[in-house]
């Protein structure tokens, strides 16, 4: 980038303005990064696998709602 800027026949004043703009932009980006990383992040812990009985859960839902004599009848089913 600087190679192309230096190859142009810009005046010293224009070069100074570009340098100040670059420094200002760098400062803004650094301050934004510092604000965004205020939360402490530690190492990620592995997820804990919780054993579940999926078949039993399916059976409980079936008996609660869809069996011949459900726990929750049509009236309750609509409320939920």
Write out pLDDT tens, residues 43-75.
Answer: 888 889 899 999 999 999 998 888 898 888 777
CA dihedral in degrees (63, 68, 69, 71; nearest 10)? 30
CA dihedral in degrees (57, 62, 63, 69; nearest 10)? 170
pLDDT tens-place string over residues 22-43: 888 887 777 766 555 556 677 8
Whether the pLDDT of residue 15 is over 60: the answer is yes
In degrees, rounded to 5, the angle at the alpha carbon of residue 72 between the alpha carbons of residues 68 and 75 is 105
Q: Give 40-78 as a DSSP string.
A: ---PPPPPPPPP--HHHHHHHHHHHHTSSS-SS-HHHHH
Q: Is the pTM of this model over 0.75?
A: no
Return the pLDDT at 56.
Answer: 95
Per-domain residue ranges of the chain: 56-80
């Amino acid at each position: 980038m600087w190679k192309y800027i230096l190859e142009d026949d810009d005046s010293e004043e224009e070069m100074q303005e570009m340098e100040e703009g670059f420094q200002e932009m760098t400062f803004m980006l650094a301050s934004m990064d510092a604000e965004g990383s205020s939360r402490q992040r530690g190492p990620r812990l592995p997820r804990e696998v919780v054993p579940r009985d999926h078949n039993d859960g399916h059976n409980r839902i079936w008996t609660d709602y869809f069996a011949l004599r459900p726990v929750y009848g049509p009236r309750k089913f609509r409320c939920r």
